Structure 1
């Protein structure tokens, strides 16, 4: 889609007058907590797992795994960590959240009876018990799966989701397994207790043999022997009701790969029967810097817009190391649910009103930093500066010394217009804990048109906090060729930066539309290959596809240099649903802008 200047100005003008920041970015700029675990020779990592977000009385609250607290936001741009004044239990894992307008109910994951929490004053961190002890899960047994009898269920509820229907009835959904299904049941709260009002019944299961995107592994590439369980995992339940339809969401096929996504089954009643949505997955981002979008929540903002949270894959210190991402969601009139992940880790406008098309939230600020030359004041052997501009969170530069004044300088090769900067730090042999007093981030950014005359560009400000994915929207456009990071402090043992990402516009023209796009479905129709001629001046491409020619809801972003050097380009998609018709198109982009979408072709 080619942006018109008038359309962009109109959308930007919806931001409040004088607002310091109108955009946000993925991964979300949180002060992620260091995990309590020490792994890989004593290293630790920041955790961003299993984000659950609710809108409670016009304020947004984000809980996640092992955070010893939660985050609060009034605008979906800035998030402030809340340390509970009363935390009745040890840190929680994969919590369920629900706001009933009076309180937030917090259901931790558990494998045996535990407590359900609540807060009627989340702004001040007051956490209390709603139910001090849950009764044993009916039918729960801890057996080898092959020894389980009909009606028996595994211990739980693990990875739970809470839902309160319009009639006041509560429901619980849960499950995290490559063997067992997701379960659902009626529950109730009364007199400080929780009760199971029905037995747990299966709601949905994975079927990677027919749902290509549910296959495990990088780009859904894993295979397994016949007769053995698939390694694909189903987890991360969440329920949303829109227009009388119940959307039961789940994450699959595994958090430690780029293809982690959210899917949905729908029903006309909260316990089903549920029907698989042929347009799945609903939140999918296998390419780009923040790869992955699975295991999260769906919530509505104060303007009536919908959003879906999930996690993106870092996977350096531990395979499941990750960060939080949030994507805008659209519910079409016919009920289709879709999260927009197109340019999903580039700056995105936060709407000040209702927006019908989430793609309009992309302001057209292009990535300027890919594969640009970077120099540093010092470098630890084996961790060179090329990693800072390769759009890979699992590679990073490490300074020879973690001390104030270390610098990292990027040369864009020409003067360009800067609009935003994101600095993504990495954890290399950190060995830290969340309660250490020196875990905070301080640095400044300078810019220069020629590498000699430098002016301030941005800097961290009080109050001090950790900023592993620091983001700065510049208050006005800045013309520069060079950007310099000047170090102050990080809480980790080493100064390590995975990516210095610059956004704006370079002089020139956007690429033309790809011609002669062809899409071939394989004999295994979960797979297809998309082919198109290389477009002059393009640095990357978006393959856009979906089950209707006018609704290409899924995107796979690719860089031109990762597709080889030939004149003809091709990419295999392995995320299709068996027996479902698909359509595809390709758009090219560069540092100037996005070219027109190609002709839409059937995937045959």
Structure 2
């Protein structure tokens, strides 16, 4: 979190927790001709879950909207459990795609706050799951469960003595338990050992890490990492152990920004000392869905690492946010990394590709087919223009004049293309809800056409009864088509508004040429920053810029649309930095340029 507010009003919510199923994200709702229903092999960020609406009235003066952040995913008995801020419950899934919501209030009536389970700590000790929310109060319980899927919880302790904002519990494999916490632009993250049975502190807390923006450029506050009026925030602790080393992760520099990221410091003991990695390991400042901070790292059932973290929207309020999941890991030198290249394009789910991708690659290779392509609509609310639905900016959106059945939007791919998947990102325009809503749903139909005149139904969700704010549909069989049309049938609230109607597949043409004349300028005045410029590629709509601490460690990726320059302000001023670039179009990706080193 960026700032924390405690507001003394009663929280109003359902008093009878129930389990509500989330969308199965399948094309159609039942088997056809006796065949099993098609199950998706892929997903696309932002995560498609039934995000609650912010419950805080003074956060909605520019409009009511969905919001959550600070996610944790833990693997418990082969299922994945997702907790995040202010959702009045949690989700579980067995595949990271089909999520089921469990309604649950963890705070008690006398707490009288809106922040129901804000920035939660979740961990698994033996056969027990523990949950605790952010607080410095002494009367917040730690909850425990051996059946979270069945919503069975009891208090492990009724009052956690020391509390903490943005807490994280880490049970080490030697039987010891540690807690980390902190959310401040003045104070560091702290760590302390906790008695595993009584949850009482053992000794006094220790300072773990305080940001060093004077050295690490990515830690500077602001959208462009150059706003010096406010110091950066450190928050969102999470500990991972790998090969005997301890990786303490933290979010910075501010949750509202595209550069919101998770850094990591590495040590040989859970309480340090720690050495920072030069670049953030979870970083996504470009593309459609930006930001990858304040999250958690976990393993899937195939023993692969993943990272879940916060995506920034920050339009109607600074705390308007979503959640994304990306593959992560450790290299041969135990450097921790996350793969954000094409991080909001379709990725394979764990264990699902019929042909395993090379070298563990999870990107499908399905390209965006309709970036800034022509759009037609049924109507337009003033100032919410049709092209905002295809501009690859989650902050902008088209809105129809109403939310009525029959409102529609149509996108022209420009030529016959192989369409494999479609993502529908709804925006919040004139919505009426506060807090978590249940029983709401979206209904729509997708059509396709080769000539814009004769239309065929591609996806029919006219009977859908689930809430799918970022619905992603992988087609059972690809189609050759040129036009895609989305027709509204039912909105859960507000007007029919779309921040991204995104069509994925392949354009049946040539891949882009390799980028030439790639130049990186770094000066002695401020070695945290560099200016990157390159010769435009005529048949490209975007570029991926890779950077890292070595030619074979280019783990950070920035996706840049419709530009041939980039101001990188994320470097470690005391170390060399390496860059490479590739071009992107509807048909694929070019070869990477030669690596450029700057001292």
Q: With structure 2 as the length reference, what TM-score do the two structures score?
A: 0.89
Distance 1:437 1:163, change over 3 A: closer
Distance 1:233 1:358, change over 3 A: farther
**Partner in structure 1 of residue 407 of structure 2:** 406
> 2: CA distance between counterparts of 1:575 and 1:314?
21
**Partner in structure 1 of residue 91 of structure 2:** 71
The CA deviation at 1:521 is 1.5
Q: Say if 2:314 is the partner of 1:321.
A: no
Q: Say if 2:229 is the partner of 1:204.
A: no
Distance 1:357 1:162, change over 3 A: farther
Distance 1:273 1:115, change over 3 A: same
**Partner in structure 2 of residue 511 of structure 1:** 512
Indicate the SS of the match to 1:34: coil
**Partner in structure 1 of residue 149 of structure 2:** 123
**Partner in structure 2 of residue 572 of structure 1:** 567
Q: Say if 2:102 is the partner of 1:82.
A: yes
> 2: CA distance between counterparts of 1:86 and 1:179?
30
Alignment length, in residue pairs?
Answer: 554
Deviations 1:74-130 (A, max 9, x none): 011221111239876672100011012311111210021121112211111122211
**Alpha carbons 1:111, 1:158 under 8 Å: kept:** yes
**Alpha carbons 1:374, 1:410 under 8 Å: kept:** yes
**Partner in structure 1 of residue 224 of structure 2:** 219
**Partner in structure 1 of residue 119 of structure 2:** 94
Query: Within 5 A, what are the aligned runs for 1:14-93?
Result: 20-38=39-57, 39-41=59-61, 43-84=63-104, 91-93=116-118
**Partner in structure 1 of residue 5 of structure 2:** none
Q: Say if 2:330 is the partner of 1:331.
A: yes
Distance 1:356 1:463, change over 3 A: closer
Q: Say if 2:181 is the partner of 1:174.
A: yes
The CA deviation at 1:473 is 0.6
**Partner in structure 2 of residue 13 of structure 1:** none
**Partner in structure 2 of residue 583 of structure 1:** 578
Distance 1:78 1:277, change over 3 A: same
Distance 1:106 1:574, change over 3 A: same
**Alpha carbons 1:36, 1:44 under 8 Å: kept:** no
Extract unaligned runs of 5+ from structure 1. 1-16, 138-155, 225-229, 564-568
Deviations 1:294-347 (A, max 9, x none): 000000011010011111111111012110011100201211000000000000
Indicate the SS of the match to 1:206: coil
**Alpha carbons 1:342, 1:359 under 8 Å: kept:** no
**Alpha carbons 2:404, 2:495 under 8 Å: kept:** no
> 2: CA distance between counterparts of 1:580 and 1:18?
53
> 2: CA distance between counterparts of 1:352 and 1:174?
34
> 1: CA distance between counterparts of 2:185 and 2:358?
35
The CA deviation at 1:580 is 1.2
Extract unaligned runs of 5+ from structure 2. 1-35
Distance 1:436 1:444, change over 3 A: same
Query: Within 5 A, what are the aligned runs for 1:512-531?
Result: 512-523=513-524, 524-531=526-533
Q: Say if 2:452 is the partner of 1:451.
A: yes
The CA deviation at 1:357 is 7.4
**Alpha carbons 1:306, 1:328 under 8 Å: kept:** yes
**Partner in structure 1 of residue 4 of structure 2:** none
> 2: CA distance between counterparts of 1:379 and 1:531?
37
The CA deviation at 1:462 is 6.3
1:540 to 532, 535, 542: 542
Query: Within 5 A, what are the aligned runs for 1:114-513?
Result: 114-135=140-161, 137=162, 156-190=163-197, 193-224=198-229, 230-278=230-278, 280-352=279-351, 360-436=361-437, 439-460=440-461, 464-513=465-514
> 2: CA distance between counterparts of 1:111 and 1:397?
42
> 2: CA distance between counterparts of 1:480 and 1:56?
43
The CA deviation at 1:592 is 0.6
**Alpha carbons 1:88, 1:128 under 8 Å: kept:** no
Q: Say if 2:109 is the partner of 1:109.
A: no
> 2: CA distance between counterparts of 1:19 and 1:442?
19
> 2: CA distance between counterparts of 1:419 and 1:497?
20
The CA deviation at 1:531 is 2.3
**Partner in structure 1 of residue 9 of structure 2:** none
Indicate the SS of the match to 2:361: helix
Indicate the SS of the match to 1:213: helix
Distance 1:106 1:395, change over 3 A: same
The CA deviation at 1:251 is 0.4
Deviations 1:117-156 (A, max 9, x none): 1221111112221111122x3xxxxxxxxxxxxxxxxxx5
